[in-house]
Structure formats: C-alpha cells, structure tokens
Amino acid sequence: MTESTRIRITSEEEYEWLNSVRQEYGLTWRGMMLKAEQRLLASEGHWPKEFQTPESLRAGNSVNPDDTTGTDGGPPSETDEVVG
C-alpha cells in the first residue's frame, strides 16, 4: 500500500534546516518521521500512562499480518512529499 502524507512547512528557514539534517543522515522524509517516532517512544517511559502509545499502534506492530512494511524504511517505491 502506497500512501502520501503532506507536511506543511511554513518557513523557508525551517525547511532548509530539516532538509539539511535529513541529507546529513542520509534519510528520506519518511525516515525522518520514523526516527522521530522512535525517539518519542523511547522517551514515553517517563510519561504518564494515559499519554503513552498503545503497543498496537507502534510502528512494526501491524494489525494486518500480510503487511511486511516495518521500521526499515519501507519499500523503495514509496514516495515522500514535503510542501515548503
């Protein structure tokens, strides 16, 4: 399944900063989102229980057993889209 998500970045400076970080680490825009998710989930251990993400919603915990996309970046045909 290929889906597209639009991220609106309203300032050119913010876009340039995010894009430079993405390029420095060799990530796609999707890869940046997955890294951010990993960091948020890692920090959740200190959050109150009601604000923690249920295990079933975490990346790699697919509801569909036929879904083979995980946190490894997904299929190469997946497109990233950023609107600056």
Tokens (6 digits) for 23: 């390029």
In this prediction, residue 73 carries a pLDDT of: 46
Of 13 and 70, the one with more pLDDT: 13
In this prediction, residue 54 carries a pLDDT of: 79
Is the whole-model pTM more than 0.75? no
Q: pLDDT digits over 1-56, tens only?
A: 667 878 899 999 999 999 999 999 999 999 999 998 888 888 877 778 777 777 77
Q: Rounded to whole angstroms, how far apart are CA atoms 52 and 39?
A: 13
Q: At what angle do helices 29-43 and 12-24 cross, to 10 degrees?
A: 90
